[in-house]
């Protein structure tokens, strides 16, 4: 009997009715969204509570909670959470979304232990720069992006819940109007100003020929006007008699240090440019949630929200489109939970990582484009809203590597050139591949245009520029054997061709030598009974400090049966490999 295809479920979205309204080209409210499969990828459960729901439905989790990380586009993740019964279940939302700044956000990645081994005198020689996000938008696309996600977040927020949106001067005023529409003007509580130059203005800001910019805006709304969670917070003020008096905290925060400048907080620095201090999230989470409440951050980034929520005994959900953000958040949370277990201070000792909508875990789109830019020698242009940069005398357009160069892409380039009658440069198009119909269309265009001629670098076939796409995976030599009731695991050798190549591209004056292969390894996870699908973390080797190396040799108790041992090695750029063996 033929199996029937399940009917696609549409999740109804409540219409937004707030005022005032902001309009932009392509504005479209969400009427329906579709959930996607959430595939369980990894479980961290050191106390073996065995909470492992293949489908994380809220009704199953309400009394047996485990925390969650979701890897995927947050619009897809939020729709999936609605489908899984999380509508109206989130008590606090904090997001730090893109600001439409035009910047590329870089994570600085330093190899482990090289300074301690004394082999590299220049610290910068061991630092890799990994592009995590491109924050380059046109205004209409950005506003629609935020509009859709704010609508979904409102659906997930509980009736007593709050949302904090972290912004800056570039888009704060636009998002304020959108939030008035989505959440209702009456539910606006405050615009918090965080002085990001605490304790004082320093660094390059001194050189500005303008008022020194030193603030971030955090928009604070609630789901309802009257009934919402708020725990009033106070700050100690020293009086002239030497006594400390308590004063309610206002909406101007001058007492929380930023990571920028010469001061910085005492938090662990993750390398993310946009990392926020834990003190900032601690204030928000303590004020607008109670212990055991559910906190959501769908732009999890460096993981600050999840780390603070874990420390404060809140349930949490984190989400990000960037694989490196998920790995970094997972790594730091494992350390926190293990420390809490030692001190008997954790109520939620496990979390699961899911992949939503079949996201490719191997190559970041941003990384691929950034590698292409470096390899070809493109000079990036941040002021041009359409073209991505220049190559010699030519303008450059990079076609999204998720699809080939199509006739529609060509038409968009031609339409843009018609808007620029004084532009006399030729165009270089960089793409992964192209449709057959593109070549004759370009030939026809070039015949009719003495300037603005179009040429294509097709990376799949280009002998000069295409070789950077030949991805050589990590290689490892791992010895796994049984000794009585223990598995003896030893990493004998490891190499990341990508790290070696990137180091030597960035340091072309000399070849970087790595004296200990463990410098290339970020952390190691071990599953002593791997089922081939979900990785259950039984043992994690996450070095405490940046200069510490992994141990590399492990003795772990195993069952009497013949289990499949799996060793997951994650390198410093986030590439993963799994080695398995039955013993």
Residue 306's domain is classified under what CATH number?
Answer: 3.40.50.150
Let me know if 536 is exposed, middle or buried by CB neighbors in 10 A (0-12, 13-18, 19+): buried
Task: Confirm if 498 and 546 have CB atoms less than 8 A apart.
Answer: no
**HEC readout, 114-154:** HHHHCCCCCHHHHEEEEEEEECCCCHHHHHHHHHHHHHHHH
Range of the structural domain that residue 536 is part of: 474-496+512-582
Do 296 and 349 sit in the same domain of this protein?
yes
DSSP assigned state of 405 = B
- CA of residue 481 relative to chain centroid, distance: 37
Do 383 and 320 sit in the same domain of this protein?
no
Residue 305: closest CA among 96, 88, 62, 40: 96
Question: What angle, rounded to 10 degrees, do the helices at 74-83 and 139-156 form?
Answer: 20
Q: Which of 295, 322, 356 is the last residue of a domain?
A: 356
CA dihedral sign, ordered 276, 268, 92, 100: positive
**Beta strand pairing status for 67-71 and 315-320?**
parallel
Q: Which of 5-9, 302-306, 470-474 has the lowest mean pLDDT?
A: 5-9
Encode pLDDT of 297-339 as tens digits.
999 998 999 999 999 999 999 999 888 889 999 999 999 999 9
Q: What is the mean pLDDT of residues 467-478?
A: 79
Let me know if 93 is exposed, middle or buried by CB neighbors in 10 A (0-12, 13-18, 19+): buried
How far is 318 from 330, CA to CA, in rounded Å? 10
Do 320 and 370 sit in the same domain of this protein?
no
Task: Confirm if 24 and 141 have CB atoms less than 8 A apart.
Answer: no
Let me know if 345 is exposed, middle or buried by CB neighbors in 10 A (0-12, 13-18, 19+): exposed
How far is 420 from 56, CA to CA, in rounded Å? 52
Do 22 and 142 sit in the same domain of this protein?
yes
Tell me, yes or no, whether 427 lies in a domain.
yes
Residues 6+ apart with CB under 8 A from 394: 425, 426, 427, 428, 455
The domain that contains 385 carries what CATH number?
3.40.1350
Residues 6+ apart with CB under 8 A from 382: 102, 103, 136
DSSP assigned state of 272 = B
CA angle 520, 522, 527 (to 5 degrees): 120
Kindly report whether the peptide bond that precedes residue 20 is cis, defined as omega within 30 degrees of 0: yes
SS3 186: helix
Q: Which residue, chain included where needed, has tokens 């000399």?
A: 510
Query: What region, left, alpha or beta, does residue 495 occupy, with left being phi > 0 and alpha being psi -120 to 50 degrees?
Result: beta
The share of the chain scoring above pLDDT 70, in percent, equals 84
Do 335 and 415 sit in the same domain of this protein?
no
| pLDDT score, position 2 | 46
Do 343 and 433 sit in the same domain of this protein?
no
Do 143 and 286 sit in the same domain of this protein?
yes
Total of domains in the chain: 3
Residue 144: closest CA among 32, 17, 25: 25
Residue 4 has pLDDT above 70, yes or no: no
Residue 223: closest CA among 194, 189, 192: 189
How far is 571 from 566, CA to CA, in rounded Å? 16
Do 62 and 181 sit in the same domain of this protein?
yes
Helix (H) or strand (E) holding 338: helix 323-342
Quickly state the pLDDT bin for 261 (edges 50, 70, 90): very low
Q: What does R_g of the chain's alpha carbons equal in angstroms? A: 26
Do 247 and 351 sit in the same domain of this protein?
yes
Tell me, yes or no, whether 301 lies in a domain.
yes
Q: Which of 249-253, 360-364, 502-506 has the lowest mean pLDDT?
A: 360-364
Quickly state the pLDDT bin for 239 (edges 50, 70, 90): confident
DSSP assigned state of 47 = T
Tell me, yes or no, whether 58 lies in a domain.
yes
| pLDDT score, position 575 | 86
Do 207 and 150 sit in the same domain of this protein?
yes
Alpha helices in 165-212 (DSSP H): 172-183
In whole angstroms, how far apart are CA 319 and each of 81, 230, 355, 582? Answer: 11, 25, 10, 34
Residue 578: closest CA among 32, 129, 41: 41
Tell me, yes or no, whether 504 lies in a domain.
no
Residue 201 has pLDDT above 50, yes or no: no
Query: What region, left, alpha or beta, does residue 242 occupy, with left being phi > 0 and alpha being psi -120 to 50 degrees?
Result: left
Quickly state the pLDDT bin for 508 (edges 50, 70, 90): low
Do 201 and 86 sit in the same domain of this protein?
yes
Q: What is the mean pLDDT of residues 480-503?
A: 90
Do 351 and 408 sit in the same domain of this protein?
no
Residue 67 has pLDDT above 80, yes or no: yes
| pLDDT score, position 554 | 97
Tell me, yes or no, whether 449 lies in a domain.
yes
């Amino acid at each position: 009997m033929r199996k029937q295809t399940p009917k696609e479920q549409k999740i109804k979205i409540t219409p937004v009715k707030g005022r005032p309204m902001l309009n932009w080209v392509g504005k479209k409210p969400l009427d329906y969204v579709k959930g996607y499969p959430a595939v369980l990828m990894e479980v961290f459960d050191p106390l073996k509570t065995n909470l492992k729901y293949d489908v994380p439905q809220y009704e199953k989790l309400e009394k047996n909670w485990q925390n969650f990380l979701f890897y995927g586009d947050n619009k897809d993740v939020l729709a999936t959470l609605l489908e899984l019964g999380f509508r109206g279940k989130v008590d606090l939302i904090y997001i730090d979304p893109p600001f439409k700044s035009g910047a590329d956000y870089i994570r600085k990645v330093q190899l482990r232990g090289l300074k301690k081994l004394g082999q590299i005198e220049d610290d910068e020689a061991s630092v890799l720069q990994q592009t995590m996000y491109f924050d380059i938008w046109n205004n209409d696309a950005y506003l629609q992006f935020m509009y859709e996600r704010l609508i979904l977040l409102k659906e997930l927020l509980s009736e007593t819940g709050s949302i904090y949106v972290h912004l800056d001067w570039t888009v704060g005023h636009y998002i304020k109007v959108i939030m008035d529409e989505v959440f209702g003007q009456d539910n606006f509580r405050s615009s918090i100003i965080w002085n990001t130059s605490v304790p004082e203005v320093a660094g390059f800001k001194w050189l500005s020929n303008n008022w020194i910019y030193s603030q971030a805006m955090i928009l604070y709304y609630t789901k309802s006007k009257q009934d919402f969670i708020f725990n009033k917070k106070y700050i100690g003020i020293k009086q002239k008699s030497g006594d400390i008096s308590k004063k309610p905290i206002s909406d101007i925060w001058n007492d929380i240090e930023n990571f920028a400048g010469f001061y910085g907080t005492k938090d662990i620095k993750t390398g993310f440019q946009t990392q926020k201090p834990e003190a900032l999230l601690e204030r928000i989470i303590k004020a607008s949630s109670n212990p055991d409440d559910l906190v959501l951050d769908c732009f999890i980034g460096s993981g600050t929200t999840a780390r603070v929520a874990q420390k404060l005994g809140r349930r949490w959900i984190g989400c990000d489109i960037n694989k490196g953000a998920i790995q970094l958040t997972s790594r730091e949370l494992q350390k926190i939970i293990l420390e809490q277990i030692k001190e008997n201070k954790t109520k939620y000792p496990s979390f699961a990582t899911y992949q939503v909508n079949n996201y490719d875990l191997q190559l970041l789109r941003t990384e691929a484009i950034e590698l292409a830019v470096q390899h070809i020698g493109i000079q990036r242009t941040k002021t041009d809203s359409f073209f991505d940069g220049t190559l010699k005398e030519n303008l450059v357009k990079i076609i999204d590597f998720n699809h080939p160069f199509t006739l529609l892409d060509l038409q968009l380039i031609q339409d843009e050139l018609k808007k620029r009658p004084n532009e006399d440069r030729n165009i270089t198009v960089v793409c992964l591949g192209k449709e057959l119909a593109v070549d004759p269309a370009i030939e026809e265009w070039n015949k009719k245009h003495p300037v603005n001629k179009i040429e294509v670098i097709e990376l799949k076939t280009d002998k000069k520029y295409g070789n950077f796409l030949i991805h050589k995976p990590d290689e490892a030599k791992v010895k796994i054997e049984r000794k009585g009731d223990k598995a003896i695991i030893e990493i004998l050798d490891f190499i990341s061709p990508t790290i070696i190549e990137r180091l030597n591209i960035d340091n072309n004056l000399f070849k970087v030598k790595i004296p200990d292969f463990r410098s290339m390894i970020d952390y190691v996870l071990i599953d002593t009974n791997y089922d081939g699908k979900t990785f259950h973390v039984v043992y994690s080797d996450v070095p405490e400090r940046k200069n510490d190396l992994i141990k590399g040799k492990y003795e772990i108790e195993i069952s009497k049966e013949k289990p499949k041992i799996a060793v997951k090695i994650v390198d410093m750029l986030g590439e993963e490999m799994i080695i398995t063996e039955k013993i």
